[in-house]
Amino acid sequence: MKKPIHPILFVSSLALLSILAFTAWWFLLRQPPLPDGLIQANGRIEGDHYAVAGKVPGKVAELLAREGEAVDKGKELLRLDDAQVRAKVDQARQAAKALEAQLKAARTALEVARKDLPLAIQSAEANLAHTRAQLATARSNADQATRDAERFRKLAESGTVDRHRYEQTELARQVASNQAQSAQEGGRVAEKQLEQARLGHERLRAKEDEVNALAAQIDQARAALKEAESVLDDLTIHAPAAGIITQRLVNAGEVVAAGAQLFDIVDLDRLYLKVYVPEKDIGKVCLGLSARIYTDAFPNEPLAATVRYIASQAQFTPKEVQTPDERVKLVYAVKLYLDANPQHRATPGLPADAVIRWKEDAPWARPRW
């Protein structure tokens, strides 16, 4: 029959085993604490999102990109139906061409009128001078014929010459008088013609105004053409930045409204790790501090990062975030922007750990949870 173990001996044995187990854990399994000057945290990698939307409504004619596809800035993502807009572009282009033809004809007419005006004025002035000379001659002839007729009248009354001779001189006086009146009327007509010719300056100004009006109409037509072409360009949706398409919210054949989101793109060169720092450590963190980010996929290749954002207000610890001290209830959100993302190894949604160095001489170390 076995002798029972004494209770004191049993308790002593258990205590000894506990001490040995704690010693083994302390020296073999326990993670040493982080060096002074480092703060560890964890979270998920996020990125700057670009909501891609169209400026005009329309029907989706062609999809050129899918979820998960890497795109460069400016890549075509989607095309909307453009039949109506192309017709408006053609209409605006033809209207501009028609006005350009009218403007060309108006400018040609203006140049011809500018060259013709001096000649018309010179011709009118010469004609007026000629008619005035004719008027002076006709008046001289009329005066002479009047004197001759008066002299022959007196001679005929005295019987010196026969009456037939007097009648001939009277007829010559009447003809000369009529010629003088005709020459005077011709002079008035020539003066009016000169006035009309000199009004050519006003007509030139009117033609210049017509040319300017057509030029303004052409500018308006060209502006309308540019507007139509701009709307046509807006029917093709381009990537606003390089990145990964995380969401495609439309399908071919759907009608979308102006401003409706079509794609969501994340810039893989502008990623950040959003972590939560306990309230007791947030005073050590400031903008511009260096950090290192560790991922499970590349545990030995940390990514350099920089503190770019610190929340101004504390919040309760999010459920998905691990914390070494369960007594900590309030934390501050901090964003660690990656300095670079080689081969785009980091992607949005990837969990990661981070170490923030708030003392410059502190040696870097991996997170120790």
pLDDT, tens only, 286-323: 999 999 999 988 888 999 999 999 998 888 877 655 55
Asked whether the whole model's pTM tops 0.85, one would answer no
pLDDT, tens only, 24-75: 544 444 456 788 899 999 999 998 889 999 999 999 999 999 988 889 899 9
Q: What architecture is the 87-230 domain classified under in CATH?
A: Orthogonal Bundle (1.10)
Average the pLDDT over 245-252 and give the result.
91
**Over pLDDT 90: what percentage of the chain?**
40
Question: pLDDT band at residue 20, thresholds of 50, 70 and 90?
Answer: low
User: Which of the two residues, 292 and 181, has the higher pLDDT score?
Assistant: 292
Query: Looking at residue 114, what is its pLDDT?
Result: 79
CA–CA separation, 262 and 78 (whole Å):
9
Query: Looking at residue 141, what is its pLDDT?
Result: 83
Residues paired with 292 in a beta bridge: 304, 355
Per-residue pLDDT for 185 more than 90?
no
Helices (H), the chain: 7-24, 83-158, 163-198, 200-234
The domain limits of the chain are: 31-68+247-357, 87-230
Q: Which CATH superfamily is domain 31-68+247-357 in?
A: Efflux pump adaptor protein, beta barrel domain (2.40.30.170)
Average the pLDDT over 155-180 and give the result.
79
Query: Looking at residue 26, what is its pLDDT?
Result: 45
Query: Looking at residue 327, what is its pLDDT?
Result: 44
Average the pLDDT over 217-235 and give the result.
92
Is residue 211 within 8 Å of 109, Cβ to Cβ? no
Starting at the edge strand found earlier in the chain, the sheet holding 255-256 runs: 236-238, 76-80, 58-63, 255-256
CA–CA separation, 106 and 205 (whole Å):
12
Q: Taking the mean position of all CA atoms in its chain, how far away is CA 271?
A: 29
